[in-house]
Structure 1
Amino acid sequence: MATETHTQTPPTTIITAFFGFLVSTAVSLAAAVLLAGSRQQLVDTLRESNQDALTEEQIQGSATLGLGFAIGVTLVVALVHLWLAFKLKAGRNWARVVLTVITLLQLASIAATQGNTAVGYASCAVALVAVVLSYLPASNAYIAAVKRSA
């Protein structure tokens, strides 16, 4: 006996939220690329605050390690963010909740720190719009319909 499967078509609000999360992720990745270009500034800052505790080789290594770690974390977060965006598009409520929490943490980070850039603000603003779109009535109806059909 063949079972008939019904696929739900995501509404415009979900599609727009999906692309919003993609753009937010792309902006964050662009920030990581810009961060990689600031290595010398980090080395200079470490050198100024060193007070003869580290050798030049240690300063260079610390800058490389710090930037590598920051870029690695950014890449992992970006991959998770993309995976969650695709799950949201597929109508998974848990993905919407996790994306909301991540966006709120991003907003809290911006509010708590002074070192933000226009790129960070742009990424957060786009993600906030995407979160709002994912909770509009059409989005809620789509996610409920996907849950009912599962």
Structure 2
Amino acid sequence: MTTATGRTTPPRTVIAAFMGFLVSSVFAVASIGVLVGTHDDLVETLRATQPSWTEEQLQAAATTSQVVVAGIALVIALVQLWLAFKLRSGRNWARVLLAVFTVFQVGSLFIGEGEATLPAYGGAVVAALAVVASYLPASNAYFDSVRRAG
């Protein structure tokens, strides 16, 4: 799997993992869109838990929490994209970090009261499959060859 320039090309398993992490990032961005559609539900939940708040306070709290969660989701998606490109270029540390992130991503589905969205489940499943692909024997051989060459 060496090209004319001496660079090792990634095997199909690494390309599949790379594509999986790209798709998982798209799911993360899609979940931001779903989050925006839940503003009224969030206001109602806040109204039930904070009956003394004014309508303005409820709206502000709901908007602020959505902006914070959307910002975090966007940062995570961008970091996942960056790590996916590093994975494709044979960086083992990126593979390890993506595996750790995926464990947290899957774990986050079980936190809360069943509030995970369909894009969140889809992204977690795709990321888990991408982690598996990144640790298959062909992928391991690729990461070893990049390490030896570099």
Same fold (TM over 0.5): yes
- Work out the percentage of aligned pairs sharing the same amino acid: 49
Distance in structure 1 (CA, Å) of the matches to 2:72 and 2:8: 34
User: Which residue matches 2:32?
Assistant: 32
Q: CA deviation at 1:50?
A: 1.8
1:13-39 CA-to-partner distances (Å, cap 9, x unmatched) read 000100000001101110111101211
Q: CA deviation at 1:111?
A: 3.2
User: Which residue matches 2:141?
Assistant: 141
Q: CA deviation at 1:5?
A: 5.6
Say whether the 8 Å CA contact 1:29–1:75 is kept in structure 2.
yes
User: Which residue matches 2:83?
Assistant: 84
Distance in structure 1 (CA, Å) of the matches to 2:71 and 2:108: 19
User: Which residue matches 1:110?
Assistant: 109
Structural RMSD (CA): 1.4
Distance in structure 2 (CA, Å) of the matches to 1:108 and 1:30: 19
User: Which residue matches 1:61?
Assistant: 60
Q: Name stretches of at least 5 consecutive residues in structure 2 with no aligned partner.
A: none
Matched AA of 1:100: A
Distance in structure 2 (CA, Å) of the matches to 1:92 and 1:144: 10
Distance in structure 2 (CA, Å) of the matches to 1:17 and 1:91: 12
**Secondary structure in 2 aligned to 1:111?**
coil
| 2:79 matches 1:75 | no
Matched AA of 2:21: F
Query: Which 4+ runs in 1 deviate beyond 6 A?
Result: none
Q: Name stretches of at least 5 consecutive residues in structure 1 with no aligned partner.
A: none
Matched AA of 1:99: L
Seen in structure 2, the aligned counterparts of structure 1 residues 36 and 55 have a Cα distance that, compared at 3 Å, is same
Seen in structure 2, the aligned counterparts of structure 1 residues 49 and 111 have a Cα distance that, compared at 3 Å, is closer
Say whether the 8 Å CA contact 1:6–1:149 is kept in structure 2.
no
**Secondary structure in 1 aligned to 2:27?**
helix
Matched AA of 1:87: K
Number of equivalent positions: 146
Matched AA of 1:140: N
TM-score of the superposed pair, with normalisation by structure 1: 0.92
User: Which residue matches 1:119?
Assistant: 119
Distance in structure 2 (CA, Å) of the matches to 1:105 and 1:71: 17
Matched AA of 1:13: T
Distance in structure 2 (CA, Å) of the matches to 1:109 and 1:72: 16
Distance in structure 2 (CA, Å) of the matches to 1:68 and 1:109: 19
